[in-house]
Amino acid sequence: MSQELYIDPKRCQGHARCWSIAPETFGIDEEGFAYVLPGREGAYDEESAQKAIKNCPERAIKVRDVEVGK
Ligand code: SF4
């Protein structure tokens, strides 16, 4: 079992606060909503990602368990 960052699309309102805090981890799509940059799903324990999680007003940034090796 491993963990990864993800954005809950039902919650994200597109403030881009996550991107302004941690642009190395989050991107903003053409409609203004956030996504986790490819290859950065495992960055949940980095300080900037944790700060983004705490500062998302919609609580849209989550860490979920993923099964590896399947
Ligand atoms: S701060 Fe939260 S609501 Fe705003 S764009 Fe990022 S994930 Fe979406």
Ligand 1 lined by 20 (C-beta under 6 Å): no
Ligand 1 centre distance from Cα of residue 70 (Å): 30
Strand partners, 61: 7
- Total-model pTM: 0.93
**What DSSP string describes 25-64?**
TEEE-TTS-EEEPTT-TTGGGSHHHHHHHHH-TT--EEEE
* pLDDT tens readout for residues 4-24: 999 999 999 998 999 999 999
Q: Look up residue 55 and give its two tokens.
A: 């500062």
Asked if pLDDT for residue 64 goes beyond 90, the answer is yes
Closest listed residue to residue 44, CA positions, set 28, 25, 68, 19: 25
Helix (H) or strand (E) holding 23: none
Q: What is the pLDDT of residue 1?
A: 82
* pLDDT tens readout for residues 39-55: 999 999 999 999 999 99
Domain boundaries, given as residue ranges, for the chain? 2-66
Asked if pLDDT for residue 70 goes beyond 70, the answer is no
Residue nearest to atom 3 of ligand 1 (CA): 12
Ligand 1 lined by 12 (C-beta under 6 Å): yes
pLDDT band at 58 (very low <50, low <70, confident <90, very high): very high
Assigned CATH topology for domain 2-66: Alpha-Beta Plaits (3.30.70)
Atom in ligand 1 nearest the alpha carbon of residue 58: 3
